[in-house]
Structure 1
């Protein structure tokens, strides 16, 4: 079967738009986070570790969806800068518990403010209602369980 429709310009393809929007947001975020000495991956680790209960490296990796090797590398870098510290679990000596240091808590607060400001700049072409709708729609696609699964 031959399709008589002209090819759709890339600017109307969802995959193209999502890829380029993510790349632009990543650049904007990287610029905003650089003065705070962390990148987006490291900030995500700090966020997960700040959730309240102490987490092992493996538990934090699971929440972030990264493999153990990647997590070890991320934690090593954060630990080298004094932002997190490892300690053996008192319940299971095979586990390393990772917690934010006071410097890590401060870095998290500052970097999160910068990240939020970067997101506002990224979303500035949209009015507030449209920006919130976009975020809700993406959450429905990425975070929430699809209906029927």
Structure 2
């Protein structure tokens, strides 16, 4: 059966950017989920760990801003990561009303392993493109999503 018989997206839909981005994201999410499951985290939690890694301890609000998520969602994610022993919160030294969040040693080790697994998943996802085209895609998406200063558009 050919795609004109109804089993594929067809020529118009297969050129539609929203369709392509959605299905690319679904495929990458599936690969990422499979890669991260052994480490007990999901993609959103990995995003939080990455936002906190290699930086001064951040406030919950700063971490939420880095990820572009609301405060309530950030609190829920941090609660889950704290229960898993991957992050620790403590009052800010100068402003006791704010919490500072940082990775625990377990969180740092989990993140290191999760990054390796996620990198493998990304390589699998991008394999059909070849190395140069994969890097062009990554740079192109960065140009769309990030401003020159590295912040989101």
Deviation of 1:23 (Å): 0.7
Which residue is equivalent to 1:34? 37
Alignment pair present for 1:47 and 2:50? yes
Provide the rounded CA distance (Å) in 1 between the counterparts of 2:139 and 2:19.
20
Q: How does 1:49-128 map to 2 (within 5 A)?
A: 49-128=52-131
TM-score (norm 2): 0.88
Output the CA distance in 1 between the equivalents of 2:144 and 2:67: 17
Aligned with residue 133 of structure 1, among 130, 136, 150: 136
CA distance in 1, matches of 2:84, 2:18: 37
Q: In 1, distance between residues paired with 2:115 and 2:11?
A: 38
Cα separation, 2, equivalents of 1:113 and 1:81:
20
Unpaired runs of at least 5, structure 2: 1-9
| Structure 1 unpaired stretches of 5+ | 1-6
- The size of the alignment, in residue pairs, is 140
Over the aligned positions, Cα root-mean-square deviation in angstroms equals 1.5
Q: What SS does structure 2 have at the residue aligned with 1:110? A: helix
Looking at structure 2, the residues matched to 139 and 19 of structure 1 have their Cα atoms a distance apart, in angstroms, of 17
Moved over 2 A (4+): none
TM-score by length of 1: 0.90
| In 1: Cα distance, 2:44 partner to 2:143 partner | 22
